[in-house]
Amino acid sequence: MKQLRESVRSGPFQPAPLPQLQLTGTTTAPSAFTAPPSGWHAYRITNGAHTVTGLIVGVPANDCRNGVLLRHEKTLPAVSASRGHDLARRKTQDEPVALAGASGAWSERLDSLTPPREAVATAGPDERKHLVWPLASSIAESIWETGLPQPWIADGHHRVEVISSGLGTAPLLAVLFPSSSLQMEAVHRGLCLDKHAFAQNLSSLEKTVAVQALAPASLASPPSPQPNEVILCLHDHTYSIRPPQSSTRNGTSPPLRTVDLAELALSHLVGTANHRPNGAVSYFGGDKGAATLVDQIRTGKPAETDLHAGLFLPTGPLTEVEQAALSQELFPAKSTWFLPKPLAGLVSLPLS
């Protein structure tokens, strides 16, 4: 293990020691143990025939701030504050951040491993099976020698922001997955619109982007927006929203990204990100997010002053997310949803 620790100090991405990592199972005799300094662990998630294997690592707070750990979307101050209060109260990290990096020899080595009998196993609420086990020092060294990729945050931007602000002395608890094994889903927006101002706000939006009225949605199933399109769906009206044909950012940049198109629409319909009424926007992600939002629109009780609506986005390409991380042209907050996610409570690390 000495050789591994020396390599960690010299590499560009330097996972920190996790001397107090706790693994707990849901078997009749839950197990917990302390990992050796710089000990690495494998994290495998299985859903039917699909298997994803990642590496549990600790990311020093400095790496969360100095560009080693890349972000791809902005954060919401209220959400970061809530996360910070919750972590400070519980004094432990028990929901690992999901990181992604380019696949390579490191991920092939992880995929080839057979879990030992003592691996901690449990099933998540989505019926995915989660397995965690410590890696022998020889295996950890062989993975390190293949080289780890520069990681970017797939899920957990607000937790990274809290840890990097100096909450506690422990490193950030994370799982590094190969990006090619992750599934990305769109995050849709549930809206509470001002009924009396809607026509005027929609007219203002039409001066900025291309808005086309569509046949009213049946609300029997979620709409299916095309690339470079978002769909605004109300009880009795549906609108296609697209960027103008000549739309570019700053006159020379590529066409408006779909996530930015959605944020532009929201700025006209409910106000800019920093000036929105509480409860004006809610977020629906995951493989059931669109169906849940449709159900909310369909069953929402009409009010004298409010309209229930949904803004539906297409699932964008993973390459667009990776480009946002590398260029630091960040997506708006709550723009992406990645699956599978590490299970909360299976792995924990004290903050100090």
The yes-or-no verdict on residue 124 having pLDDT over 70 is: yes
Neighbour count for residue 62 (Cβ, 10 Å):
13
3-state secondary structure the chain: CHHHHHHHHHCCCCCECCCCCEECCCCCCCCCCCCCCCCCEEEEEEECCEEEEEEEEEECHHHHHCCCCECCECCCHHHHHHHHHHHHHHCEECCCEEEEECCCHHHHHHHCCCCCCCCEEEECCCCCEEEEEECCHHHHHHHHHHCCCCCEEEECHHHHHHHHCCCCCCCEEEEEEEHHHCEEEECEEEEEEECCCHHHHHHHHHCCCEEEEECCCCCCCCCCCCCCCEEEECCCCEEEEECCCCCCCCCCCCCCCHHHHHHHHHHHHCCCCCCCCCCCEEEECCCCHHHHHHHHHHHCCCCCCEEEEEEECCCCCHHHHHHHHHHCCCECCCCEEEECCCCCCCEEEECC
Structural domain contains residue 322: no
Structural domain contains residue 13: yes
| Higher-confidence position of 204 and 217 | 204
Residues 105 and 173 in one domain: yes
| The model's pTM | 0.83
| Higher-confidence position of 100 and 168 | 100
Of 4-18, 48-62, 78-92, 224-238, the one with minimum mean pLDDT is 4-18
Q: What is the pLDDT of residues 86-121, one digit of tens each?
A: 999 988 888 999 999 999 999 999 999 999 988 888
Residues 304 and 261 in one domain: yes
Residues 177 and 219 in one domain: no
The yes-or-no verdict on residue 311 having pLDDT over 90 is: yes
Of 54-63, 100-109, 198-207, 284-293, the one with minimum mean pLDDT is 54-63
Per-residue model confidence (pLDDT) at position 107: 94
Per-residue model confidence (pLDDT) at position 14: 55
Residues 6 and 93 in one domain: yes
On whether the CB atoms of residues 283 and 158 are closer than 8 A, the answer is: no
- Percent of the chain scoring above 90 in pLDDT: 43
Residues 153 and 248 in one domain: no
Residues 19 and 146 in one domain: yes
Residues 169 and 193 in one domain: no
The yes-or-no verdict on residue 36 having pLDDT over 70 is: no
Residues 26 and 174 in one domain: yes
Per-residue model confidence (pLDDT) at position 114: 94
Structural domain contains residue 227: yes
Residues 33 and 133 in one domain: yes
The yes-or-no verdict on residue 2 having pLDDT over 50 is: no
Confidence of residue 205 (pLDDT cuts 50, 70, 90): very high
The yes-or-no verdict on residue 236 having pLDDT over 50 is: yes
Q: Domain of 275?
A: 188-312
Structural domain contains residue 33: yes
Residues 28 and 170 in one domain: yes
Structural domain count, the chain: 2
Mean pLDDT of the chain: 82
Q: What is the pLDDT of residues 246-293, one digit of tens each?
A: 654 555 556 789 999 999 999 999 988 777 777 889 999 988 899 999
Confidence of residue 57 (pLDDT cuts 50, 70, 90): confident
> Residue 63 carries which side chain, given as an amino acid letter?
D
Residues 210 and 138 in one domain: no
Residues 292 and 196 in one domain: yes
Per-residue model confidence (pLDDT) at position 186: 92
